[in-house]
């Protein structure tokens, strides 16, 4: 087994390599003067089980191209098997046609990864579960809920904790966490008029006096989450903390979180935190290095990955 990484999340790659007790593979990923990407593998990979760790986060297109070109380089170097480890799968929010004459970009990206030469995919908390079916190769979708539940148990009095889904679409994820915590579940009903904007309408469930845990897969601009937190506090909650797997946090999201009614935002390092995120008082980062590392180890040993979440 050999682990390589692109430029998107070097800190996570180093941590995963440390967990696996192996050295990160030697590869050069650089750009020509016109920003064309060039990849060179600096060690022998013939007959090896190769894992390529790369989040397709901002700049999404650059990191996606790095991943595709690295996969192609390994395929042409006669690697026995190539697994694309994608902690954050970009374009996942484009998983269906929301209107006439629009693309399903998640399927296109799945095709690109497959055609580049990947033999299997390992990813984390896909925005929509059906994206697994977009790939014509084996795809394992990991879940951050075990990591999140351990942190909640360490930080909160579970007898007064309530899990809240920020929208109806996230109920399955919220229910999974509530089951692990043996906690009650509430749902925020919202109406979205335009992409990136939302209007909170109602809270289904009694949150009065509760320490509420909002859980979701992605936070981008932060508007939906901050609106949900404000509404929950207005309904009498004691506190609101958000646990989000992928901290995209674009634009003024960090500033918005800092001035919101959230007690804390906890994200994973599936996307490498920016300096603004690291310096934010209300944002904390949980590492998923052990989760990703153990999934890679089990894949290499042909062991069960799904048993990680039993």
**Could you give the 3-state DSSP secondary structure of residue 110?**
helix
Integer Rg of the chain from CA:
20
Does the annotation flag 81 for ligand binding? Answer: no
Does the annotation flag 54 for ligand binding? Answer: no
Does the annotation flag 258 for ligand binding? Answer: no
In this structure, are strands 139-142 and 120-124 parallel, antiparallel, or unpaired?
parallel
Does the annotation flag 47 for ligand binding? Answer: no
Does the annotation flag 290 for ligand binding? Answer: no
Does the annotation flag 34 for ligand binding? Answer: yes
Question: CA-CA distance, 100 to 108, in Å (whole number)?
Answer: 17
Does the annotation flag 127 for ligand binding? Answer: yes
Does the annotation flag 14 for ligand binding? Answer: no
Question: CA-CA distance, 163 to 185, in Å (whole number)?
Answer: 5
Question: CA-CA distance, 221 to 272, in Å (whole number)?
Answer: 17
Does the annotation flag 205 for ligand binding? Answer: no
Does the annotation flag 140 for ligand binding? Answer: no
Active site residue 97: no
The 3-state secondary structure of 137-180, one letter per residue: CCEEEECCHHHHHHHHHHHCCHHHEEEEECCHHHHHHHHHHHHH
Q: Are 44 and 58 in contact (CB under 8 A)?
A: no
Q: Among 2, 107, 190, 210, which one carries the catalytic annotation?
A: 190
Provide long-range contacts, Cβ within 8 A and 24+ apart, for 21-24.
Answer: none
Does the annotation flag 95 for ligand binding? Answer: no
Annotated binding site for Mg(2+): 127, 167
Annotated binding site for ATP: 34-36, 93-94
As annotated, the active-site residues are 190
Annotated binding site for D-ribose 5-phosphate: 192, 216, 220-224
Annotated binding site: 34-36, 93-94, 127, 167, 192, 216, 220-224
């Amino acid at each position: 087994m050999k682990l390589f990484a692109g430029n998107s999340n070097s800190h996570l790659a180093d941590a995963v390599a440390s967990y696996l007790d192996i050295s990160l593979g030697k590869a050069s990923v650089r750009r020509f003067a016109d920003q064309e990407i060039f990849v060179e593998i600096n060690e022998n990979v013939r007959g090896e089980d190769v894992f390529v760790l790369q989040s397709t986060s901002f700049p999404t297109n650059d990191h996606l191209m790095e991943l595709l070109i690295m996969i192609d380089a390994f395929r042409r170097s006669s690697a026995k098997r190539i697994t694309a480890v994608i902690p954050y799968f970009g374009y996942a929010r484009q998983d269906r046609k929301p209107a006439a004459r629009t693309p399903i970009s998640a399927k296109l990206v799945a095709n690109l990864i497959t055609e580049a030469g990947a033999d299997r995919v390992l990813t984390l908390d896909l925005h929509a579960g059906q994206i697994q079916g977009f790939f014509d190769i084996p795809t394992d979708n990991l879940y951050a809920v075990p990591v999140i539940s351990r942190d909640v148990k360490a930080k909160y009095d579970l007898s007064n904790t309530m899990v809240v889904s920020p929208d109806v679409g996230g109920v399955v994820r919220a229910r999974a966490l509530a089951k692990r915590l043996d906690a009650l579940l509430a749902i925020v009903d919202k109406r979205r008029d335009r992409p990136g904007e939302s209007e909170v309408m109602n809270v289904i469930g009694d949150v009065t006096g509760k320490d509420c845990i909002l859980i979701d897969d992605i936070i981008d601009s932060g508007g939906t989450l901050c609106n949900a937190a404000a509404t929950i506090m207005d309904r009498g909650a004691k506190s609101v903390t958000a646990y989000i797997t992928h901290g995209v946090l674009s634009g003024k999201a960090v500033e918005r979180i800092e001035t919101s009614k959230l007690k804390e935002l906890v994200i994973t390092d599936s996307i490498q935190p920016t300096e603004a995120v690291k310096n934010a008082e209300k944002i904390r980062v949980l590492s998923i290095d052990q989760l990703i590392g153990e999934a890679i180890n089990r894949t290499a040993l042909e062991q069960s990955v799904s048993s990680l979440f039993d």
